[in-house]
C-alpha cells in the first residue's frame, strides 16, 4: 500500500472510532494503569509533533531513504511487546475534551499528509533523533507515524471493547 493511503487509512479509522464515543467513554479507563481512549488519542496527537521535525532542518541522505522502515514496522506491529512512552508524549491525566482532541488530531493529520504529498521524503531530518534509531528521513518519519497509529488503533479497539463491556 502506498504511504499516503496507509497513513490516511490508519488515521481515518482511528478518528472514526474516537467520534463514536461520548465524552464519558472517551475519558473512561478500562482498568488501573491502562489508558482511556482519550489518553490514547492525546498520545497519538502529541506524537504527531514529529511533523515539526519533518518540516525542520534537513540534509541529503547518504543511504536508502527507506532503510529503517522495516525495522519500524516490525517493532510497532509486534503486539506481544509492551512499550514505554517517552515522557514528552505521555497523555494528559486531565479530563479531555472530545471536540478539541478531534480538531487537534485532524489538524496534525492534515499537516502530515501535506508533508507526505509535497516534500522531498528522501531528506534526513535533523531536529530530533530517536536514540535507538538515529536520524530518520521524512519517509521514515511518515511510516513511523503510520505504524505507531496502527499500533494504537489496535490498542484503542481493545480499550473500547473493554469499556463497553463494563456498561
Q: Distance between CA atoms of 23 and 144, rounded to whole angstroms?
A: 29
167 has pLDDT over 80: no
Q: Distance between CA atoms of 140 and 92, rounded to whole angstroms?
A: 27
Out of 1.10.150.20, 1.20.120.450, 3.40.190.10, 1.10.3720.10, select the CATH number for domain 3-166: 1.20.120.450
Q: Distance between CA atoms of 162 and 167, rounded to whole angstroms?
A: 9
What lies within 8 Å, CB to CB, of 6 at 6+ separation is 143, 146
Q: What is the pLDDT of residue 166?
A: 67
Give φ, ψ of 29 to 5 degrees.
Answer: -90, 135
pLDDT digits (tens, 9 = 90+) for 25-79: 999 998 878 999 999 999 999 999 999 999 999 999 999 999 999 999 999 999 8
Model pTM?
Answer: 0.95
Q: Distance between CA atoms of 121 and 8, rounded to whole angstroms?
A: 17
What integer best gives the mean pLDDT of the chain? 95
Q: Distance between CA atoms of 124 and 138, rounded to whole angstroms?
A: 6
Instruction: Pull the grid cell for residue 39.
Output: 489518553
pLDDT digits (tens, 9 = 90+) for 116-155: 999 999 999 999 998 889 999 999 999 999 999 999 999 9
Q: Distance between CA atoms of 85 and 60, rounded to whole angstroms?
A: 30
Amino acid at each position: 500500500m502506498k504511504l499516503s493511503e496507509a497513513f490516511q487509512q490508519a488515521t481515518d479509522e482511528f478518528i472514526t472510532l474516537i467520534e463514536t464515543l461520548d465524552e464519558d467513554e472517551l475519558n473512561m479507563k478500562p482498568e488501573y494503569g491502562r489508558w482511556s481512549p482519550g489518553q490514547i488519542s492525546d498520545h497519538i496527537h502529541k506524537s504527531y509533533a514529529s511533523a515539526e521535525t519533518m518540516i525542520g532542518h534537513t540534509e541529503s541522505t547518504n543511504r536508502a531513504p527507506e532503510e529503517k522502515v522495516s525495522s519500524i514496522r516490525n517493532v510497532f506491529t509486534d503486539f506481544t511487546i509492551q512499550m514505554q512512552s517517552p515522557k514528552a508524549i505521555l497523555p494528559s491525566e486531565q479530563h479531555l475534551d472530545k471536540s478539541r482532541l478531534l480538531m487537534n488530531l485532524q489538524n496534525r493529520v492534515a499537516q502530515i499528509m501535506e508533508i507526505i504529498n509535497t516534500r522531498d521524503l528522501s531528506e534526513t531530518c535533523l531536529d530530533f533523533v530517536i536514540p535507538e534509531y538515529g536520524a530518520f528521513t521524512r519517509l521514515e518519519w511518515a511510516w513511523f507515524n503510520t505504524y505507531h497509529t496502527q499500533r494504537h488503533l489496535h490498542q484503542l479497539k481493545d480499550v473500547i471493547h473493554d469499556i463497553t463491556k463494563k456498561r
